[in-house]
Amino acid sequence: MTVEYRQFQVTLVTEEPFRIGALEDVMSGIHNPVATVGGRVVVQGSSLKGALRANVEDYLIEHYGDDPEMRPCIPSSERTLSPDEKILINKGLYRRGGSCMYSQRQKSPSICPVCYLFGAQGLVGFVRVPYLYTDVSPEALYAVRIDRAAGVVAEGTNREYQIMRDGVEFTGVLEVLMKEAARDWELGRPRPLQRTNEFSGDKWVERNGWSAERIIDELIVQRLESLHLLGGFKSKGCGKVSVTVTEA
C-alpha cells in the first residue's frame, strides 16, 4: 500500500510563563501540575490541535465567510451546542447542524475545510498534530487568595502550581497525508466519497485553486505560525508563544 506523508518540524518557544495543566497527582503534593509524558513536559496534541483548529476557523470566517462551502462547522453534535454557539450559527459565521458527519446513519451536506484537514465524525482527516516535548523541568510557584475583609492572605489558600519559564523550546513533527493509493486520497483533491443529492463531499476543494501546496501553506503552516497564545492562566500573564514550522 502506497502512503505518502510530508513532515514538518514544529517549534514552539514560550515568550512568557507558560503552562498546560494536568490532573492533580496526590502523591506529588502539587495541586496544579503541568502535563507530562514519560517525565517530560509536553504540549498535548489535543491542545495544539484545538488551538490550530480554532485559528483555521477564525481565518476562514474572516477571509472566506461569504462562501457557504468555506464556512467551518462547530465540532460538536447539534444537541450539545450552547446558546451562544447557536447565535454564532444564526449570524452565518458557522454551518448549521453542528460538526461535519460522514457515516451510515447521517451525512452533512458537505465536509467543511477544517474537517477535511482534521477529521469529521466517521472520517479521518489529512493532518496528524503531534505532541510537543521539552527536556526543561517545570518550576514551582504559589497562588493565594486575599481575604477581602482583612486585606491579608486568606487562611488555607496557599496552593502550589507548576509553570514553565519563558524561553523554553518545545518541538514535535507534524505529518500531512499527501496521498494514499488504496483509498485514492490525495491532498488538494476531493476524496471519492459516496455522493448523493444531499451530500456533496469535499466540494470546496474543487474551486478557487485549492492545491495541496496552497492548503499546506495557507491553512496549516501560516495558521500554526500565527498562534500567539496557548495554555492556561492567560489572565495571569501566561501563555504568549511563538511558533515556527520548517519542512523536516
CA–CA separation, 214 vs 211, rounded Å? 5
Structural contact between residues 3 and 180, judged by C-beta atoms closer than 8 angstroms: yes
Work out the pLDDT band at 1, boundaries 50, 70, 90.
low
Beta carbons within 10 angstroms of residue 235's beta carbon: 7
Please, are residues 97 and 121 in contact by the beta-carbon 8 Å criterion? no
Smallest CA-to-CA distance from 240 within 172, 167, 173, 162 is with 167
Residue 40 confidence (pLDDT): 94
176-188 in b/e burial notation, b at 16+ Cβ within 10 A? Answer: bbbbbeeeebbbb
CB 201 within 8 A of CB 189: no
The pTM (predicted TM-score) of the whole model is 0.90
SS3 176: strand
Q: So what's the pLDDT on residue 208?
A: 83
CA distances from 80 to 85, 86, 90, 93, 112 (A): 10, 10, 16, 18, 19
Residue 16's Cβ-side half-sphere holds a number of Cα atoms within 13 Å equal to 13
User: Under 8 Å CB-to-CB from 188, ≥6 apart: which residues?
Assistant: 205, 210, 211, 212, 213, 214, 215
Q: Are 63 and 226 in contact (CB under 8 A)?
A: no
CA neighbor of 104 nearest in space, from 186, 194, 233: 194
> Could you read off the pLDDT of 108-145 as tens digits, one per residue?
889 999 999 999 989 999 999 999 999 999 998 877 67
- For 187-215, the pLDDT digits (tens) are 999 999 887 778 889 999 988 899 999 99
* Contact by Cβ (8 Å): 130, 174: yes
The per-residue pLDDT of the chain, averaged, comes to: 90
Sequence-ordered list of residues with C-beta below 8 angstroms from that of 109, at least 6 positions apart, any chain: 198, 199, 200
- The grid coordinates of residue 33 equal 501540575
